[in-house]
Amino acid sequence: MKMLNIALTKGRLEKCTIELLEKSGIDCEPLINKGRKLIINLDNRYNVVFAKAADVVTYVEYGVADVGVVGKDTLMEMNRAVYEIMDLDFGKCRFALAALKDTDFYSGYNIKTIATKYPEVAKQFFDGKQMDIEVVKIEGSVELAPILKLADGIVDIVETGTTLKENGLEVVEFFADISARLIANTASLKLKKQEIEELTERLKS
């Protein structure tokens, strides 16, 4: 068996990923108590690194990691050449267009301004509607933008909608389901077919 290099997303998806790996019978003790180690070996078969979501995609695209776990939101935003081989069914949320409550987002003739952490996703969404928009890239709390009159609406991932509600916003439209995905490097999927298939089988059970 060849060693499989795996990149996992830090933060939001981390806990669920480890839980899933444990459930599939992989001893994740070294992942939980990793200390300062950057590369963690599991069962002598997997080399695991933790990285920011966008870096997971980059690592897999360039083949320094054979497979990775990352949110569909990041994949949609980056649109890179990787294989998306499995829906891991956790980290579930939806992409939504939201605006201030009791306003008609589509009214008026002005070009709408959209605040988002996902400019590409927002552009694609409005391209599909054949609508011109202006995008403002925001790094932190996107919900602030409509309140501060920086934007007419936001495009963001929505889990329960509580944050939106608390800030006086409401969903105009949900448009894509998000969850954690297992991605693979295009060459690795072929050259490490057996190893990757074995991992996906484990994760399925």
Partner 1 sequence: MKRYDRITPEGTRDYVLKECRLLRKADNILRDLYQKYGYSEVITPSIEFYDVFSDGVGRVSQNELYTLTDSNGRLLTMRPDSTKPIARLYAAHLQKLELPLKLFYSQPVFKRNINFYKKSDEIMQTGVELLGLNNFKSDIEIIMLSIKSMQLLFGDDFIIEIGHMGFIKALLDELDISAKLELRHAIATKNYPDLNRLAALLGEKGEILKSLPELFGDSTVLERAETLFSDSRSQEALKQLKEVLAVLEQNGLKDNVLVDLAVINDYEYYTGIVFKGFVKNESREILSGGRYDTLYNDYGLNVPAVGFAVNTDEAARLLVKKQRSKERETERVAIYTDDPDLFKLQQLIDSYSAKGVTSAISLFDNIEDTLRWAQKIGAKKLVKIKDSVVSEVKL
Residues that bind partner 1 (CB under 8 A): 61-63, 72, 78-87, 179, 181, 184-191, 193
Task: Report the residue number, 112 or 181, with the smaller CB distance to partner 1.
Answer: 181
Longest dimension (CA), the chain: 62
* Pairing, β 180-184 against β 67-71: antiparallel
If you ran DSSP here, which 8-state letter would residue 82 be given? -
- Which residue's structure tokens are 């389901």? 177
Q: How far is the CB of 79 from partner 1 (least distance, A)?
A: 4
Residue 152 CB, shortest distance to partner 1, in Å, is 25
Q: How many whole angstroms separate alpha carbon 114 and alpha carbon 123?
A: 9
Single-letter residue type at 22: E
Give the CA dihedral 29, 33, 39, 42, nearest 10 degrees: -10
CB-nearer residue toward partner 1: 41 or 186:
186
Task: Pick between residue 83 and residue 105 the one whose CB is nearest to partner 1.
Answer: 83
Q: Which of 62, 106 has the CB closer to partner 1?
A: 62
**Beta strands 133-137 and 112-116: pairing type?**
parallel
Q: What minimum distance in Å lies between the beta carbon of 3 and partner 1?
A: 14
Q: Rounded to the nearest whole angstrom, what is the least distance from the CB of residue 104 to partner 1 in the complex?
A: 28
| Closer CB to partner 1, 56 or 78, in the complex | 78
Q: State in angstroms the smallest separation of the CB of 27 from partner 1.
A: 27
Q: What's the distance, CA 164 to chain centroid?
A: 20
